[in-house]
A and B are shown apart, each in its own frame.
Chain A
């Protein structure tokens, strides 16, 4: 279980945060799916509602759980971005957690809304993936490398009279 910075916790609570899950299935094909219901549980796991067992994401998560393959999760909003590495930990088919997500879906979409399962994901690593954090990290590692020399903060422009 990984530590969740407060900024990431706050992002996960925001309804307009982009939450995507990247998987690789049995045939090796990569797949990315947005899952807005992704949320942090009290024990540090993540969970989201899946509508269909037949979705590519469901199949890939079963594959990852069975054969111990990692998955990636991207969380972003504006300039803030986080990258998580996780494992599908549990596929919930009945009980309080399923009921909680189902009732939330019905409150949001109406009484005919339905879900098949709730997936619980166990997070192994959390990384700040925002452009600014990456730039600062890169600058600290390679202070004079890579950036274009014509940037405003570097170049001294000759004053033409």
Chain B
């Protein structure tokens, strides 16, 4: 049976001439995923691209057991974290011929693409024998660390309903000789960052994120303590007090935020609201609702502005998930209105609200749900960009070079 018509980037760009084709292509790649042809998979075994063994297998699942490349790069320099394994029935395809990677949508040539070059520290081990690529992964200009690789929201089924993080620990462990403890040794973090910084021009930001850990005297005290240890370990590599960094974490109270600011070199903080509508927040993010509710998560972002400064606090929304059924919005207009209300609210308080494309991952409770069409994202990112511009906010941390996940911050490149 032919699949229903799903307007792609060219059609949507014609309807929305202010949104560039390449941004629409990126968001559509995020929506639909990609697979590699055998030729492309062979080509990414080249040392320039080889990111090593990965639990993310590009292409045809179990049939393909080769090393994986890093994030896909489009010609405008933005990157696409497309965790393939074909999450959808109609992924894009990357082929390799005449010495270049080329992107296809079925039989249609789309554009020349590339993959993020492998960083020099990959393949090296810390003095404790831990593979450094299990301590930190590399985006084009960002070093990503997970000091704690477990989310306690999963205990009792309180994980966010769209989330599939930490569902692949068994596979990951198998690929790194079982050296994959929940908690990462700060010394391994220190050594990995030190090694990564030996490569000229490879990184301009460090990002930390972890699974939620609400334990402690005050909610999230354990998590905050761990983040401080990790940030202090990273900070030993720098001569300056502060270094370009972002912490995507849970919602901390003011005292915890002050500790992060005063005891580490952290420059920006991002507690993700995920879903703005109060009822949908409670339904989609039961862990966040339990610890300690939507108002707490909002207040944390606002209080962080007093500490880190306007424009240095972010919050992400998983755009499209508010349309999940049976409780989600029934129309795209309702969903867009909710995002714009959220963006305006946060912008008034100096918080940068960013959108991510929702992917109903395998392993998540929402697997099998229908994604909104690409045009929804075209309308969304234009609206968000216009609101933030009106408030003089720009996503300097979560821009195309560092994160690459946000169509709305991409649009700011020409402002």
Contact = CB atoms under 8 A, between A and B. Distances in A.
Given A53-B399, A66-B21, A91 B414 contact: no
A93 B401 CA distance: 7
A25 B22 CA distance: 17
B225 to A, nearest CB: 33
Contacts of A92: 77
B73 interface: yes
Question: Which of B73, B199, B414: most chain A Cβ within 10 A?
Answer: B414
Interface residues of A, number: 28
Given A53-B401, A93-B140, A65 B75 contact: yes
A91 B20 contact: no
Describe B's contact surface by its main secondary structure.
Answer: loop
A96 B117 contact: yes
A25 B413 CA distance: 11
Interface string B308-351: 00000000000000000000000000000000000000000000
B134 to A, nearest CB: 21
Contacts of A116: 401
Interface string B62-105: 00000000000101110100000000000000000000000000
B76 A99 contact: no
Contacts of B75: 65, 89-91
Nearest to A60: B414
A92 B400 CA distance: 12
Contacts of A25: 414
B129 interface: no
A142 to B, nearest CB: 42
A108 interface: no
Nearest to A92: B77
A45 to B, nearest CB: 12
A115 B414 contact: no
B414 A66 contact: yes
Contact of B201 (A59, A62, A91, A102): A102
B300 interface: no
26 contacts: A53-B413, A59-B413, A59-B414, A62-B413, A62-B414, A65-B75, A65-B76, A66-B21, A66-B23, A66-B414, A67-B20, A90-B114, A91-B76, A93-B140, A93-B141, A94-B202, A95-B117, A96-B48, A99-B200, A99-B201, A99-B202, A102-B200, A114-B201, A115-B201, A117-B77, A117-B401
Given A93-B77, A93-B141, A99-B202, 12 more contacts: A26-B414, A60-B414, A65-B76, A66-B20, A66-B414, A90-B114, A91-B77, A94-B116, A98-B201, A99-B199, A106-B200, A114-B201
